[in-house]
A and B are shown apart, each in its own frame.
Chain A
Amino acid sequence: MSAITRETVAHLAELARIEMKDDELTALASELEIIVESVKSVSDAVSDDIPATSHPLPLQNVFREDVVGNTLTAEEALDGAPDAEDGKFKVPAILDEG
């Protein structure tokens, strides 16, 4: 487990789609380093024979009949969107043409 550098954080920020300024990257790198250092013992505390628990209580997949329920109208669903047109979400260009 390598140390967290400014570059590591820049890469993570790109993956997470959060634009970050230089000072943010530097501050986060040192904070993450502290966090990661102190959670390291977690991997030392376990061994291969221990099963992982993803949910606190046993869950089973739930099925229902494939029928139309009480759903939102397109208008209601679009009401909180930053931009909409012709009953659809409107987004900026998907491809970088600049």
Chain B
Amino acid sequence: MTDIIKLSAAELVAKMESGELTSVEITQAHIDHIIATDGQPLDADNRAAGKSGLNAFLHLNAEEALEVARGVDEDRAAGKELPALAGVPIAIKDLIVTKGQPTTAASRMLEGWMSPYDGTVTQKVREARMPILGKTNLDEFAMGSTTEHSAFGVTRNPWSLDRIPGGSGGGSAVAVAGYQAPLALGTDTGGSIRQPAAVTGSVGVKPTYGSISRYGVIAMASSLDQVGPCARTVMDTALLHEAVAGHDPLDSTSQNRPVGNFVDAAREGAAEGGLKGLRVGVIKELSGEGFQEGVLNRFNESLELLKNAGAEIVEVSLPSVKEAIGAYYLIMSSEVSSNLAKYDGVRFGLRVLPEEGPITIERVMSATRAAGFGDEAKRRIILGTYALSAGYYDAYYGSAQKVRTLIQRDYAKAFEVADVLVSPTAPTTAFKLGAESKGDPMALYKGDIATVPTNLAGVPSISLPAGLADEDSLPVGIQFTAPAHEDARLYRVGAGLEALLESQWGAPLHEQMPDTLELIRDFDFGA
């Protein structure tokens, strides 16, 4: 069974096509591994105490997943035509609505809520005939970079259980890194797919803004949010991106243009000479000061490999990137304060009555929002309310939007001399759970420095493993960024570098990951 869960989506498809494996066998193997490693199958008390294991899942959808798998196996046996990823199981971030399964956004506000409709990506996953294994954990409403802000307990990093899995999409990253699912969907507003990928040694892509529909994705910051694929290989992210991308009339920000050939691009990049002549721009501001030494070492080695493979390494500068964190937190929190206004205890989710005094709708809203939102959600709503309030609007929100223009100009200029840009994905490897600096939220926010600029500019980025840091033997991520609508370049350079690194390592990086069952057995969850 262990072998099945280590296979990539592309390998699983090949084995189903050759008749070596069935989708039921594959789906069952993943369900078994989730139950063995995630906890007492998703026991609420253990989960709340963060004691259950990896805790990557908030909901397990075993029965329906196996039913879908059976249908795929029957149709394959009957010789029917099937979509590319038919029968490959997938996990979905619990920010994306799914009919027939709860959607919580990891918030008390939506505990027990069932969406009456499917998000467009959920619908696409169903049309692709992929068994949905369940819903993955996240920071509440996708706000955070550690998954510690989930109302339902932390997710643990399978490389070291006392370390953060990244966030907000820690659950989706750990699901793929920890062999619980070959593929997962995430969302990325300021790095929520890429930073968890980096710290868990997996691959994550934030596509061009509007490449994948956001209809049915619980909105955090609408001008920044984007859905994207998570997997253990670049090819698998390309396969999933192609399966769920495309124009959607239900999302007015959805781009009406053909989906690129990401799978072909990945194949070309990994082939001999696939990177020849590619101009790779090293971002000066994001490859030195403030980055952990082991991160920079792996980063520089990757650059060396690219150079030896015929890529041309140039230096580029994004001078306005130093204002990116400030602009991002102003824009994001402003949009958050607006998007989260809908949780008012009227139409869905929680309603809490005030403990004393008259029961009026305004007081019920205030009591509901006080009880339903966690600290980080409240902090960002209040910051956003401040940034948008009369007298401060121009200085904060207005200026942040102008910085956005400057950052876009920086990217445009950099792309005149480079086909893709490169930097480490995150300044450090996974730090310890609970290490979040109390009282100084900025210390943590600064960790987003390399990921937020691409959300502000709407351009696509990929993070893939570059090796393990010398100091702590934890995964390091390298990030490539391409111009808008040129996502295919990411798959080309990503698959190219991945092939070069793996031929050096002799095996994919995840083969070096400790055995999850042994880690859980030896770990003191009470600590």
Contacts and interface: CB of A to CB of B under 8 A. Distances in A.
Interface in B340-373: 341, 344-351, 353-354, 357-367, 369-370, 373
B404 to A, nearest CB: 4
A30 B441 CA distance: 10
A87 interface: no
B399 A77 contact: no
B366 A18 contact: yes
B385 A42 contact: no
B146 interface: no
A64 B406 CA distance: 34
B114 interface: yes
A1 interface: yes
B406 A45 contact: yes
A34 B440 contact: yes
Nearest to B116: A76
B267 interface: no
Which of under 10, 10 to 19, 20 to 34, or 35 or more describes the interface residues of B?
35 or more
B339 interface: no
A1 B402 CA distance: 19
B50 interface: no
Contacts of B362: 17, 96
Contacts of A17: 341, 344, 362, 365-366, 369
B358 A16 contact: no
B465 interface: no
Contacts of B357: 98
A52 B522 CA distance: 54
Nearest to A61: B252
Interface stretch (B85-93, B290-298, B320-328, B501-509): B320-328
A68 interface: no
A57 B159 CA distance: 37
B382 A12 contact: yes
Contact of B360 (A9, A12, A77, A94): A94
B211 to A, nearest CB: 10
Interface stretch (B8-16, B229-237, B388-396): B388-396
26 contacts: A17-B369, A19-B363, A19-B369, A32-B382, A34-B441, A35-B442, A39-B396, A41-B326, A42-B323, A42-B403, A43-B396, A52-B402, A53-B405, A54-B401, A56-B456, A57-B255, A72-B116, A77-B116, A80-B347, A80-B348, A80-B349, A82-B346, A83-B351, A91-B346, A92-B364, A95-B360
Given A24-B378, A42-B330, A93-B359, 10 more contacts: A12-B382, A16-B337, A20-B370, A36-B386, A39-B329, A42-B403, A56-B408, A56-B458, A92-B364, A96-B360
Interface of A: 1, 4, 8-9, 12-20, 24, 27-28, 30-32, 34-36, 38-43, 45-46, 50-57, 59, 61-62, 64, 72, 76-77, 79-83, 89, 91-98
